Amino acid sequence: MSESIKKIISLINKTGDNCVVLDEAGNPAYVIMPISRYESLISGPKDIFTKQEKSLIKANNDQKPVVEEDNYFFEPID
């Protein structure tokens, strides 16, 4: 492995960042990242909501939708 690649990998390990590798035309071609981060990306989404947040989301989604006609209130004309 070349010294420049070793240096880049060392920096990635220290900072936790990713590295974008460009092709000859200057276009992004590859990304270098820790294998653990890559595995978490391909393993799918994680459950990020707590039980309380899930119950609030469900309660919000279960509410009766507002019909457009319900937005208008008729007022008496004097």
The stretch 12-29 carries a mean pLDDT of 90
Taking only the tens place, the pLDDT of each residue in 52-71 is 888 888 888 777 776 676 66
Dihedral sign of CA atoms 52, 54, 55, 61 in order: positive
Both tokens of 9, joined, read 């990998």
What's the pLDDT score for residue 69?
A: 67
What pTM did the predictor assign? Answer: 0.47
Write the CA distances from 34 to 8, 20, 69, integer angstroms. Answer: 12, 13, 54
Query: How many H helices and E strands in the chain?
Result: 3, 2
Both tokens of 65, joined, read 């939708």
Query: Is-contact 13 34, C-beta < 8 A?
Result: yes
Q: Provide the residue ranges of all domains of the chain, joining segments of one domain with +.
A: 3-64
Is the pLDDT at 35 greater than 80? The verdict is yes
Confidence of residue 27 (pLDDT cuts 50, 70, 90): very high
